[in-house]
Amino acid sequence: MTKITPQPGILDIAPYVGGASHVEGVSDVVKLSSNENPFGPSEATVEAFRRAGFELHRYPSTDHAALRAAIGAVHDLDPAQIICGVGSDEILHLLCQAYAGPGDEVIHTEHGFAIYRIGALAAGATPVEVPEKNRVTDVDAILAACTKRTKLVFIANPNNPTGTMIGADEVQRLADGIPETALLVLDGAYAEYVDGFDGGASLVTGRDNVVMTRTFSKIYGLGGLRVGWGYAPAHVIDVLNRIRGPFNLSTPALAAAEAAVKDQAWVDKCRSDNTRLRAWLAEVLAGHGVQSDPSETNFILARFADAEEAAACNEYLKSQGLIVRPVASYNLPEYLRITVGDEASCRRVAHAIGQFMGGAA
Ligand SMILES: *Cc1c(COP(=O)(O)O)cnc(C)c1O
């Protein structure tokens, strides 16, 4: 037995499992398990990435000034209050490392994103899971769970894997009600899918206790590149920059993300296609007896009669080369999370679920 042991909490972390991407013995699979943009990044983004290939002998920018300026211009935010990370995951981890430690509590919702718990445990803090109300963030339950040890409160709005969201009034009530020593983190990974939604940015402005995180991994189609960002009060940005790796983002990542954020026409196109295909998919699945809550994201949380039916449907979909996401690890065993793909993928998955449900009836 080795006497070399990690910090407390670390061995309590169940390693994160990403969405599957292949099925044994099946070629031509459709991956609908990681909420990726089926259309990929915009042409301008890929071009900027290519050009950056000629600069690989140079170290990247440490202050990310050009990317922060571009994000600030598009979202009408002060670039000095923006920080960029290796995916929003890095920002979430930095927040945990900076603000929570042994004896501190980190709140996340019942079906909240796995990284909140992992980040809290990695920092030696105690994750506190708060129930939702019918798969929707419950502000009263969160406020009731707050103690003087609460240092961070994470909500994703809209949430993954439920797809639901709460309104600006509710988010403000949460920001107003948490302890003075706690920071509210609004994870806006899916914010761009909600037409006209600012992800909570206006709440961050002018307060000292709210942070918003965003990502290039979803609507921008850059999950493979690893770029996210946060918008936070100046005191938080200062703290995070002290622990952030100086060269956390590579030159190609910075260049491609800058081109991506400047190409809002692509974002608009992807949002409207997603909205149309999501509505179509939800309606067809409901016609096959598979209900879902109204989703504000690029996925649908499809509800089956029970865990057995969900698991059997998942196996059937796999046999058809369709990879969706079982969410039993999120305590949702009777559901499958299905990313809204392109039109052909939506038709394929809808058809297969129809066959499965017809066969099961
Ligand atoms: C996908 C996702 C993210 C994005 O993570 P990245 O590290 O930016 O790829 C963050 N939060 C939630 C809830 C997500 O679903």
130-176: pLDDT as tens digits: 999 999 999 999 999 999 999 999 999 999 999 999 999 999 999 99
Give the residue-averaged pLDDT of 216-236. 98
Identify which of 88, 90, 95 to mutate to test ligand 1's pocket (most ligand atoms within 8 A of the CB): 88
State pLDDT tens for residues 264-289. 999 999 999 999 999 999 999 999 99
Judge whether 4 lies within some domain. no
Share of the chain above pLDDT 70, in %: 99
Pick the atom of ligand 1 nearest to 218's CA. Answer: 1
Q: What is the DSSP string of 205-225?
A: TT-SSEEEEEESSSTTS-TTT
**Interval between CA 87 and ligand 1 midpoint (Å):** 7
**Interval between CA 132 and ligand 1 midpoint (Å):** 20
Asked if residue 36 and residue 51 are part of one domain, the reply reads no
Pick the atom of ligand 1 nearest to 113's CA. Answer: 13
Asked if residue 322 and residue 241 are part of one domain, the reply reads no
Q: Are 299 and 35 in contact (CB under 8 A)?
A: yes
Cβ–ligand 1 distance for 89 under 6 Å, the answer yes
* Average pLDDT score, the chain: 96
Asked if residue 117 and residue 21 are part of one domain, the reply reads no
CA distances from 226 to 87, 88, 213, 335 (A): 4, 8, 14, 28
Asked if residue 257 and residue 189 are part of one domain, the reply reads yes
State pLDDT tens for residues 79-129. 999 999 999 999 999 999 999 999 999 999 999 999 999 999 999 999 999
Query: Please, which residues have CB within 8 angstroms of residue 278's CB and are 6 or more apart in sequence?
Result: 295, 298, 300, 340
pLDDT of residue 23: 83
**Interval between CA 288 and ligand 1 midpoint (Å):** 30
User: Is the pLDDT reported for residue 360 higher than 60?
Assistant: no
Asked if residue 317 and residue 217 are part of one domain, the reply reads no
Q: Which of 263, 278, 306 is the last residue of a domain?
A: 263
| pTM of the predicted model as reported, rounded to 2 decimal places | 0.96
Query: Please, which residues have CB within 8 angstroms of residue 202's CB and are 6 or more apart in sequence?
Result: 168
State pLDDT tens for residues 165-221. 999 999 999 999 999 999 999 999 999 999 999 999 999 998 999 999 999 999 999
Q: Tell me the CATH number at 16.
A: 3.90.1150.10
pLDDT of residue 361: 43
Give the residue-averaged pLDDT of 238-249. 97
Report the C-alpha gap between 215 and 195 in whole angstroms: 16
Q: Which of 221, 239, 263 is the last residue of a domain?
A: 263
Report the domain count for the chain: 2
Cβ–ligand 1 distance for 113 under 6 Å, the answer yes
Q: Which domain holds residue 134?
A: 43-263
Judge whether 85 lies within some domain. yes
Q: Which of 207, 236, 263 is the last residue of a domain?
A: 263
Asked if residue 113 and residue 218 are part of one domain, the reply reads yes
Report the C-alpha gap between 104 and 120 in whole angstroms: 9
Nearest CA to ligand 1 atom 10: 189
**Interval between CA 358 and ligand 1 midpoint (Å):** 35
Asked if residue 98 and residue 55 are part of one domain, the reply reads yes
Asked if residue 253 and residue 277 are part of one domain, the reply reads no
**Interval between CA 187 and ligand 1 midpoint (Å):** 8
Judge whether 317 lies within some domain. yes
**Interval between CA 177 and ligand 1 midpoint (Å):** 26
Identify which of 215, 226, 299, 340 to mutate to test ligand 1's pocket (most ligand atoms within 8 A of the CB): 215
Judge whether 199 lies within some domain. yes
Asked if residue 274 and residue 157 are part of one domain, the reply reads no
Asked if residue 230 and residue 165 are part of one domain, the reply reads yes
Asked if residue 124 and residue 239 are part of one domain, the reply reads yes
Cβ–ligand 1 distance for 299 under 6 Å, the answer no
The model's confidence at residue 21, banded by pLDDT at 50, 70 and 90, is: confident
Asked if residue 258 and residue 169 are part of one domain, the reply reads yes
Judge whether 325 lies within some domain. yes
